[in-house]
Structure 1
Amino acid sequence: MIEIIKYDGTFEGLLTSIFHIYEYKLEKVEIIKTEIASSTFFDSEEEIVTDAKKATRVWKGISKKISPEGKMKLYKTFLSEIPQMENTILGYIRRGLTSEKNIETDFTDQNVLLVDKIAKKVSREKHRMDAFVRFRLTQDGIYFATIEPDFNVLPLNAGHFKKRYADQKWLIFDLKRNYGIYYNLEKMETITLEFSSEINQKSQLQRYFTIDEMQFQELWGNYFKNSNIKSRKNMKLHIKHIPKRYWKYLSEKNC
């Protein structure tokens, strides 16, 4: 019989679940988010309450066998939100803690290989968000940007933008996951707000953004159009470096 371990979907919740598995020496287990769990007649279930202390113990404990780089790969795998990634992470940790050697480059192990592949994909998405995020100045004096990345990379992007825009108040909001990170010149905090999709519609911009900002966006768009040399246009190469799914973030593509 498989023991179903349900958790709240947070990274601390996942680590708490792993603590529970080791504490009770569970072997046949499957970790799954509570929101998508479905009961079966043959499986037993247990819902884990997130415990920050237990999560910290697990995260510190695996440092004995898994390097900081390996731990970051595990975190990126979690941020991927790929189905079953929880059990891939559990398998990776189990192998890492029982092996006498470092397992982080042992790609004969399917969990190690999968974590490495997923982490690379998440890293690429993170770097693209670093490059493609475009801020607009709101009427409240906050530089605001929306994103909808394939993976939940906003926690990875936050440090980059804090360093780059340390003297400005800014908010990056993930429309797909309905949360954002706000920087108030002193610290960053995670916030949730109700946003309408109309915030990115041209007809509604004056409700949210300053006149100067709208004029700047139009000026930038016109510059982008006029500076392009049609005879040298290579759309295939352009799309390779800036895939179409990122165009919605770019003000120069929406003027």
Structure 2
Amino acid sequence: MTIYLIDGSLESLLCAVFEWFERTPGKVLLQLEQHHQPDAFTTVFAVQPDEKKADRVWKGLQAKLDKGWMRKFYCTFLSESPEAYSSLFEFACYLFLNPEGAEDNYGNPHVLHVAQTARKVEREKHRMEAFIRFQHTADGMFYCGIDPDYNVLPLIMQHFKNRYADQQWIIYDLKRHYGLFYDLEKVEEIRMDAAAQKTLSKPAKDLLSEKEALYATLWKDYFKSTNIVARKNTKLHVQHVPKRYWKYLTEKQDK
């Protein structure tokens, strides 16, 4: 068995597929470079990212799959799971070795795994869109620090760009150390140093606008006034709004 090492980028994953067909080494085990433990008995091939090779594989997938499945492929990649990377590699090889419609064979474990992982990532995307609450800073910026299970920033970018088109905002992924900045015209990827990230995670009161506390109080009062205590169903509520998302919700900050 040969181990293919990739750096975790989409380009390197696609190049691994290209190299497999180019070299036909037989059974391959895909691993991330940072997780690899060298030994003297296993053949290792380090996949070098190559834009042209990756582009050929991507176009080949587009010829095989509809837009829905291409999105599943991308969402599965955004899960950042080593198992998902392996399934994507095997899934792509399986598609190219079989006639049209192979992606509908859910009896194939890699087809099933890609579909299930994509569904989990999409669910995280929808929850981020629903639960993110911005805070207003003294300089007029709206921001929120998040730490989602999956790398969903690329998926939620368009939603927030459309919904908050008239205000500058930052959504920063504290777990992956990068974020999105919207300047009223375009969205850009940004990175901050450790000190700035710490400030973003728990901002000091003097960094917030004077109206921020009022906004929070008004929202909490509205939430309490619309809540019917007699019809409270905590189990159902937690099912729809898991506790790990409560840190994003203004109405939950006192809980």
TM-score normalized by the length of structure 2: 0.90
Q: Deviations over 1:178-224 (max 9, x none)?
A: 111122222222222134446444xx432432121232113212332
User: Does 2:204 align with 1:213?
Assistant: no
- Correspondence list, 1:1-255, <5 A: 2-193=1-192, 194=194, 195-197=196-198, 199-201=200-202, 204-255=203-254
- Distance in structure 1 (CA, Å) of the matches to 2:18 and 2:189: 26
Matched residues, percent identical? Answer: 41
Partner secondary structure for residue 84 of structure 1: helix
User: Gapped runs of 5+ residues in structure 1?
Assistant: none
Instruction: Give the letter aligned to residue 220 of structure 1.
Output: W
Letter in 2 for 1:173: Y
- AA matched with 1:129: M
Structure-2 separation of matches of 1:222 and 1:56: 53
For 1:209 and 1:10, the matched residues in 2 are separated by 37
Q: Structure 1: how far apart are the matches of 2:205 and 2:9?
A: 37
Report which stretch shifted further, 44-53 or 232-241: 44-53
Could you tell me how far apart the structure 2 residues matched to 1:181 and 1:5 are? Answer: 32
On the 8 A contact 1:4/1:32 being kept in 2, the answer is yes
Note if contact 1:146-1:172 (Cα within 8 Å) is conserved in structure 2.
yes
Give CA deviations for 1:58-78 in whole Å, capped at 9, x if unaligned: 111122222221121111111
Contact 1:79–1:153 at 8 Å: present in 2 too? yes
2: distance between equivalents of 1:45 and 1:207?
Answer: 54
Give how far 1:152 is off.
1.3
CA distance in 2, matches of 1:189, 1:109: 39
> How far apart are the structure 1 equivalents of 2:172 and 2:68?
27
1:128-177, CA deviations, whole angstroms, 9 ceiling, x for partnerless residues? Answer: 11111111122332211121111111111111111111222211111111
Contact kept in structure 1, 2:61 and 2:92, CA below 8 Å: yes
The answer to whether the 8 A contact 1:138-1:208 is kept is yes
- List alignment gaps of at least 5 residues for structure 2: none
Please give the alpha-carbon distance, in whole angstroms, between the structure 2 residues aligned to 1:24 and 1:153: 34
TM-score normalized by the length of structure 1: 0.90
**Most deviating of 102-111 and 183-192:** 183-192
Instruction: Tell me the SS of whatever aligns to 1:239.
Output: helix
TM-superposed CA distance for 1:18, in Å, is 2.1
* Structure 1 residue 16: Cα displacement: 2.3
* SS in structure 2 of the partner of residue 5 of structure 1: strand
Give the C-alpha shift of residue 106 in structure 1. 0.9
Alignment partners' CA distance in 2, 1:253 and 1:98: 51
